[in-house]
Amino acid sequence: MRGEVKNVTGVVDLDVTGIINYLDQTVLIIPTPKPAVGRSQILKILEQAKNSPESHQMVCLHRLKSIAGRNEISSRTHLHAAGAVEFLTSVLTKSDAVSRDEALSVLNQIELSDSELKKLSSESSYCGFMTSLMKVLETGNDESRAQAITLLKSVFDVADPENLIGSKPELFKQITRILKDKISPQATKSALKLLVELCPWGRNRIKAAEGGAVTALVEMLLEVSEKRVCELVLTILDQLCGCAEGRAEFLRHAAGVAVVSKKILRVSRVASERGVRILCSISKHSSGNTKVVGEMMEVGVVTKLCLVVQVERSGKMKERAKEILRNHSRVWKDSSCIPPHLLSSYPSPS
């Protein structure tokens, strides 16, 4: 009885005895699972880190990162129970940039609970924590900046209103930088969601507008095709166009009106509703501005609004579209920009 065994050099013709000898010489490598890390071991690592110079602290941080990266529920549970979050937060707020980046990486890996995130936003630790993250956002590498914005988003999700209202203008500048730099899809989404969370509070819309957010968002809208990102961008622009500073920045961008109009009826219902709301805000405050009204006609806003009136059976989006058309009916009604088949959709002036 003979057989064939394939090896790296080709096919070797062997008899039964040869096959047995071949298998005897073959070493099967079976990976040995790493033993679970207990709480006592983590406590020992933390104790060493606290009582060692900063040069040795990095060794301990690497060990904690290795434990957190195992994706084992038990290991992460032990990290939380042993006080790793408190230690890492201390490193984040008191150490040099290298240690700070490493601590931030571990904090993101171990998935902080709501109570731990709430503690970071509490009065006793908030200032130091925010100062440290702002340094990372300003001077860190792309990876650490992405981790910082993700952690910030998680903290603000559970923060008290006073923390949201008290957000500094510099924060909005750094969020805008994240959007412009396109570090990663996850960082971009975290930055957008953070703006959605922050903008409704206090004077945050003004801070965001003055920090360059409107321009960055319009530029994103020109390039992005992903539905969820479009919806987030249009939601924030809708919020920012609720203040004079936001509307001014929006109209200052040559493509603002056109790109918002383009997204209506092309992305999703949510995107369409936000787009019409933005145009409604611009329309209400541009009645005497012939330049803006003329631009809306030239870039196809009138045609798009007539389409909304035609395809929407009812609801606020249809009513807002009608309101915009009525507000400027004297200018737009007889315009050649409206296709004849849509003229029947043009609402009568009230």
Provide the whole-model pTM: 0.83
Query: Rounded to whole angstroms, how far apart are CA atoms 185 and 165?
Result: 27
- Which of 50, 83, 111 is at the close of a domain? 111
Residue 39 to residue 83: CA distance in whole angstroms: 10
The answer to whether residue 19 is domain-embedded is yes
Low-confidence winner among 71-85, 97-111, 132-146, 316-330 (lowest mean pLDDT): 71-85
- At residue 266, φ and ψ (nearest 5 deg) are -120, -20
Instruction: Using pLDDT thresholds of 50, 70 and 90, give the confidence band for residue 10.
Output: very low
What pLDDT does residue 265 have?
Answer: 95
- Same-domain status, 72 and 102: yes
Same domain, 46 and 99: yes
| Residue-number span of the structural domain to which 90 is assigned | 38-111
Give Cα separations from 189 to 84, 184, 235, 255, 268 (angstroms): 28, 9, 13, 22, 18
- Digit-coded pLDDT (tens) for 154-165: 999 999 898 899
Q: What is the pLDDT of residue 223?
A: 94
Q: What pLDDT sits at residue 5?
A: 47
Which one of 66-75, 84-93, 96-105, 234-243 scores highest in mean pLDDT? 234-243
Q: Which residue has the higher pLDDT, 126 or 234?
A: 234
Asked if 92 and 132 touch (Cβ cutoff 8 Å), the reply is yes
Specify whether the CB–CB gap between 144 and 104 falls below 8 A: yes
In a domain? residue 107: yes
Domain end (from 76, 111, 146): 111
Q: Does one domain contain both 100 and 60? A: yes
20-59 pLDDT, tens per residue?
A: 566 566 555 555 556 666 788 888 888 888 877 777 788 8
Q: Is residue 199 part of a domain?
A: no
Domain endpoint, select from 111, 140, 169: 111
Taking Cα atoms as reference points, which of 119, 139, 138, 142 lies closest to residue 129?
119
* 57 is a domain residue: yes
Q: Give the total number of structural domains in the chain.
A: 2
Residue 75 and residue 11 share a domain: no
Is residue 201 a contact partner of residue 161, using CB atoms and an 8 Å limit? yes
Q: Which long-range contacts (CB under 8 A, 24 or more apart) does 200-206 make?
A: 200/239, 201/161, 201/164, 201/165, 201/167, 202/164, 202/165, 202/166, 202/167, 204/164, 204/165, 204/167, 204/172, 205/239, 205/240, 205/242, 205/243, 205/245, 205/246, 206/243, 206/245, 206/246
